[in-house]
Amino acid sequence: MSSSEKTAWINAIAFLLAYGWYIQHILSSSSAGAIARTPYLGSLIVTTVVSTVLVIIGQIVVAINTREREEPADVRDKSVFRRAAYSSHFILYVGGIGVMALALLDVDRFWIGNAMYLTMFLGAWSSEIFRIVYYRRGLPAW
């Protein structure tokens, strides 16, 4: 497994763990029927920092455990990265339109902020999942 594929696994797991914790924390912190009044900014910041720290720690562990010298990214690695990014852009576009619609409908900031965070999470996470799939199954012909 190349270091780029290991990075995709680390990122996907770290993003999923951090976002899962965020959702669990928000749901457990909310009172019955008043989820929109739940303070979420602190949890959002903590989740972002924890996700970043998990990725950094994962990268350090991979670097320490890699015995052979890693070759620089080749054409396949660059193609996989580029195709995964293109594949996940659709999620960002649709989510961005959804967030704009919520703002235009003057929905509570809690929902707008969480819709934006969900969009960013799904965009980043799907990009890593696409990278893993493309490394495992190969790039599609299209």
- The 10s digit of each residue's pLDDT in 28-79 is 887 777 787 888 888 999 999 999 999 999 889 888 887 766 677 678 888 8
Type of residue at 27? L
Residues 90-113, mean pLDDT to the nearest whole number = 95
End-to-end CA distance of the chain: 25
- 3-class SS of residue 94: helix
What percentage of the chain carries pLDDT values higher than 90? 54
User: Is pLDDT at 1 greater than 80 in this prediction?
Assistant: no
Residues in the chain, how many? 142
Task: At 68, list the tokens.
Answer: 């052979």
- pTM of the predicted model, to two decimals? 0.84
Type of residue at 40? Y
Task: At 95, list the tokens.
Answer: 């989510």
Residues 113 and 130: their CA atoms lie apart, in Å, by 26
pLDDT tens digits, one per residue of 6-28: 889 999 999 999 999 999 998 88
Are the beta carbons of 81 and 41 closer than 8 angstroms?
no
Are the beta carbons of 47 and 22 closer than 8 angstroms?
yes
- 3-class SS of residue 142: coil
Alpha helices, H only, the chain: 3-29, 41-65, 75-104, 109-137
**What pLDDT score was predicted for residue 142?**
64
Type of residue at 123? G
Taking the mean position of all CA atoms in its chain, how far away is CA 43? 16
Task: At 43, list the tokens.
Answer: 């949890």
Are the beta carbons of 45 and 92 closer than 8 angstroms?
no
